[in-house]
Amino acid sequence: MPLYEHVFIARQDLSNAQAEGLIEHFGTVLADNGGKVLENEYWGVKTMAFKINKNRKGHYAFLRTDAPAPAVQEMERLMRLHDDVMRVLTIKVDAHEEGPSVQMQKRDERSDRGDRGDRPERRERR
């Protein structure tokens, strides 16, 4: 079966439990249609770059799935109809990456590149 990655944004006025409940709900929709959720991550409340439906923030969730196309289409259809879901993004991937997504990795691990050397040294003012 094809592999997919989904990210959706839920309204900011939901509780964390309700937002995580949405992940479970859409996981059961996939399971009912012959797919399965391999991994899910709740990224928490994040500030968006622009307002969506008068909301500045939203609950972000990430799903890695293995499902046939009709199951994914049904899940997306139900997400778009759900009042609490503001945006949905689905990407078909060749293989899932191991470990946590980039959003869940610590900042220390992401910034291990060190100094890029493109900034001039600070000079002392006299």
- Cα 30 off chain centre by: 17
| Domains of the chain as residue ranges with CATH | 3-96 (3.30.70.60)
pLDDT in tens, 37-92: 988 888 889 999 999 888 899 999 999 999 999 999 999 999 999 999 999 999 99
Question: Which residues are 37's β-sheet partners?
Answer: 65
pLDDT of residue 1: 77
- pLDDT band with cut points at 50, 70 and 90 for residue 118: low
| Beta strand 36-52 pairing with 85-93 | unpaired
Q: Which of 16, 124, 30 is nearest to 69 (CA)?
A: 30
pLDDT of residue 87: 92
pLDDT in tens, 93-108: 888 777 777 777 765 4
pLDDT in tens, 21-44: 999 999 999 999 999 898 888 888
| Beta strand 3-11 pairing with 36-52 | unpaired
Q: Are 9 and 59 in contact (CB under 8 A)?
A: yes
